[in-house]
Structure 1
Amino acid sequence: MAKSDRLFRLMHLMRSLRPPVTAGDLARELGVSQRTLYRDIGALRASGARIEGEAGFGYTLTEDYALPPQSLSQIEIEALVLGLSEVRLRGDPALSEAARNALAKITASLPEEKRAQIEHSVGLVHRYLPQKQYEADLSLIRQACWQERALRLGYRDRQGRETLREIWPLAIVYLDKELMLLAHCRLRDAFRQFLVGSILSLDWGQTSFRPRRVPMLRDYLAELRSRHEISPYCEEGRQMMAEKEITAPP
């Protein structure tokens, strides 16, 4: 493999693999020695890529000099337009507006040919049923996830029982017809799933769980897969979760 092709492949791997990526993993993917890999990392840094980390700790691409919007292929543009269109329809007002603004910014940065591909994209999104409205403030949930701060939650389960608890929010899952909040319940000291439509009240809690959200979410998803022996994001997994696990016990 020519060095230029190898460097291009290395950049793609660093964008795609979960950081930090070890030199050993990158070298195996590229089929080169670690010594060659270290030289290639140095070459990318010299070219302007901001790559943090070092041998023995792994590497993280924090600023990508080689990925201008003009590099998007036509099928990638189709995926981008389709995905943002779905967010505009399914998201709450803040998220919907963000999707609209993001597409406008990306479109403005593209050359004329690429802008035309966005304007005449093949994929369209339409929903016959109106989007469900939620009383819970989704912007607050997102902020709590980003900042890794606790939330105080009033919740009604499917049996009509109401509880107050403090949670560490981990992720919002967009199911076919519902939104689900994955969290760690401080009252039960265990992972729980909450239907966003069944949240009665929501406010800031007193504790922070920084920097634990990402590893906690990873552990919870692994627990779900192990429990169901199936991914919670495939159709069967969603159905099982909706029928058996969706409601947090009191």
Structure 2
Amino acid sequence: MSRTDRLFQLMQALRSVPPPATAAQLAAMLAVTPRTIYRDIDTLRGLGAVIDGASGFGYTLIEDAALPPLSFDTDELEALVLGLREVDQVGDPVLAAAARSALAKLGARLPASQAHRLKHAVLTAQRFTPLPEPGIDVSLLRQATWDERTIRFDYTDAEGRETKREVDPLSVIYMQASHCLLAWCHLRNDFRAFRLDRMRELALTGASFRPRRVPMLRAYLAEISRPDQDRAAS
């Protein structure tokens, strides 16, 4: 890990760990020694971050020079908390961790009074019935979708039939009972929705369908929004 990466991760840790964060806690998170944490804290302070505390007492990030203050009204704060906590509940592990990190970043950027409201928001999200676990690396799928790269995977449909699919991924949709990929299927030569928990062995083909993702997705959404359409996941 480069020193720049380590400093960035240290800032992330300071945002996410309940203050004061001890050097031992931070060192364990970054897989370094406490002595390295002491040096990196001094470096961050030199770069403009306001970090309270000292060795033996723990550290608290007071002000992050890289993130200018933001201001939200109460309803906006509640909406942000609700949305990010919902992502924490329904997202894949990488996306859920990103939601928690984003919430911590927001807390670091807000004035003290609003940071308190963010921490103790009235609204929250909780799911008691877990969604099916994706059978693939969803972060890789999201990147392939963003990059407009054709993918292939093994798929098991609702009747248990197994096929190999090659598709142009258009969007991942988080539904009530499952997560689905909206895509153009080369096998069926048509738009299809695939449940992520039924997908296996995801791989990139090397082919690109750029720059057609946005118009293709727009066409698919228009098609499934028609009253006469009933396109359940494959």
After TM superposition, the score normalised by the length of structure 1 is 0.63
One-letter amino acid of the counterpart of residue 214, structure 2: V
Is 2:117 the partner of 1:117?
yes
What's 1:164 paired with?
164
Do the aligned residues in 2 keep the contact of 1:89 with 1:131 (CA within 8 Å)?
Answer: no
- Provide the C-alpha distance between the structure 2 equivalents of 1:76 and 1:213, rounded to a whole number of angstroms: 31
What's 2:140 paired with?
140
Deviation track 1:121-167 (CA, whole Å, cap 9, x = no partner) reads 10022222234322211111101111110101211112222111210
Q: Tell me the SS of whatever aligns to 2:81.
A: helix
What's the offset of the Cα at 1:93?
1.1
**Do the aligned partners of residues 69 and 182 (structure 1) sit closer, same or farther apart at CA in structure 2, a change above 3 Å counting?**
farther
Structure 2: runs of 5 or more not aligned:
1-67
What's 1:246 paired with?
233
After TM superposition, the score normalised by the length of structure 2 is 0.67
- Provide the C-alpha distance between the structure 1 equivalents of 2:174 and 2:186, rounded to a whole number of angstroms: 23
What's 1:58 paired with?
none
What's the offset of the Cα at 1:227?
5.2
Deviates more, 1:96-105 or 1:200-209: 200-209
Do the aligned residues in 2 keep the contact of 1:151 with 1:204 (CA within 8 Å)?
Answer: yes
- Provide the C-alpha distance between the structure 2 equivalents of 1:183 and 1:227, rounded to a whole number of angstroms: 20
Q: RMSD of aligned C-alpha atoms?
A: 1.7
What's 2:151 paired with?
151
- Provide the C-alpha distance between the structure 1 equivalents of 2:131 and 2:160, rounded to a whole number of angstroms: 24
What's 2:214 paired with?
214
Is 2:188 the partner of 1:201?
no
What's the offset of the Cα at 1:225?
1.3
Deviation track 1:183-208 (CA, whole Å, cap 9, x = no partner) reads 00122221111111111321111310
Do the aligned residues in 1 keep the contact of 2:131 with 2:178 (CA within 8 Å)?
Answer: no
What's 1:59 paired with?
none
What's 2:78 paired with?
78
**Whose RCO is larger (CA < 8 A, sep 6+)?**
2
Q: Tell me the SS of whatever aligns to 2:116.
A: helix
What's 2:181 paired with?
181
Q: Tell me the SS of whatever aligns to 1:201.
A: strand
Deviation track 1:212-239 (CA, whole Å, cap 9, x = no partner) reads 111110110001112537xxxxxxxxxx
Q: Tell me the SS of whatever aligns to 1:105.
A: helix
One-letter amino acid of the counterpart of residue 246, structure 1: A
One-letter amino acid of the counterpart of residue 223, structure 2: E
Structure 1: runs of 5 or more not aligned:
1-67, 230-239
More helix, by proportion: 1
One-letter amino acid of the counterpart of residue 106, structure 1: L
Do the aligned residues in 2 keep the contact of 1:148 with 1:209 (CA within 8 Å)?
Answer: yes
Do the aligned residues in 2 keep the contact of 1:70 with 1:114 (CA within 8 Å)?
Answer: no
